[in-house]
Amino acid sequence: MMIFRRRRHELSNTLAQMRDDLNTLRTALQQRDADLQTMKTSLAGVTARLSTFDERLTQMASTLTNQFHELDAEIQKLAATSDAATAERVEQLRTSQTRLASEQARYAIAFRQDLAELAELLRRAR
């Protein structure tokens, strides 16, 4: 134990250096704690916003689905009481409706994938 055989002056210097190192470490730890708290606050805000986006997307998807069902019911009523020209228009409407529903589903899936990727990035950042 070389530290105990040193002279009093050398021990004082070593002790002062250790105190300085300890204070430096405490300061760094406090800074890390402050940074961590800032990141937690930021993450909570982003999580809340993502949750709001997800709720809104779900609401919009439900609304569009309901509208598509209503439109389909109207198209079927029209198809039941129509002539050949109207039947062709009804078929065009069904085709358009199917295309719009598929597009809406693709957008919803893509948006949810983007949200999942963003959530994964945030999880890794923690």
Residue at 15 is within a domain: yes
Note down the domain range covering 63: 10-125
Inter-CA distances, 97 with 15, 40, 61, 72, 93, Å: 80, 44, 14, 8, 6
Residue at 3 is within a domain: no
Q: What is the pLDDT of residues 28-61, one digit of tens each?
A: 999 999 999 998 898 888 888 888 888 888 888 8
Higher pLDDT, 38 or 3: 38
Task: Give the C-alpha separation, 119 to 96, whole Å.
Answer: 34
Q: What is the pLDDT of residue 1?
A: 47
Q: What is the total count of domains within the chain?
A: 1
Residue at 71 is within a domain: yes
Residues 6 or more apart whose CB falls under 8 angstroms from that of 125 comprise: 39, 43
Residue at 76 is within a domain: yes
Q: What is the pLDDT of residues 57-74, one digit of tens each?
A: 888 888 888 888 888 888
Residue at 5 is within a domain: no
Looking at the predicted structure, is the pLDDT value of residue 118 above 90? no
